[in-house]
Amino acid sequence: MGIFNGLNINASGLALERFKLDTISTNIANVNTTKTAEGGAYKQKTVTFAENLRQSIGTNRLERSYGVRSTGITENQEIKMSYDPENPEADENGYVEQSNVNMADEMVAMLQAVRTYEANASAAESNKTILKKALEISKN
C-alpha cells in the first residue's frame, strides 16, 4: 500500500459527491421542465457508483479497494401526468407530462451528499495530519 492511497481514496469520494451535487442541482433546476430537447418532460437523474477495485492478488483474486467510482447516470422512467387542458403541450385528453423530480427527495439527497463531502474532506485532513506527523518522526 502506498503512502498516498488514503488521500486518493478521499479524493475519489470528494469527486463522487461533487458529481452527485451537480446532478442534484440539475434535477432541481429542471423540476418544472415539461419539454426537453429529446421530447417529453425532464426525467430525474441519479448517479450510480461502485467501489473502485484494483490489483488482483494471487490465486484467490483478492482485490484492493481504491475508493469509489461513478458507473453512470440513470434516469427515472416514471411518468407523471397532470390535467391541464389549457396548456399548449396537453395531449388530446388534456393531460400534460410533468417532470418526475420530487423537490423534497432532492433536498434530502443534497443534504446527504453535502454531509458525505464534509466527512471525506475531514478524513483527508486527518490523513494529511498523519502524513505530517510521520515526516516529523522520520526527521529524528
pLDDT value at position 56? 59
Burial class from Cβ neighbours inside 10 Å (0-12, 13-18, 19+) for residue 95 reads: middle
Whether 10 and 124 have beta carbons less than 8 Å apart is answered as: yes
Blockwise average pLDDT, block size 10, the chain, 140 residues: 81 96 96 88 95 69 78 93 88 91 96 96 93 84
What is the spatial distance between Cα 93 and Cα 86, in angstroms, rounded to a whole number? 11
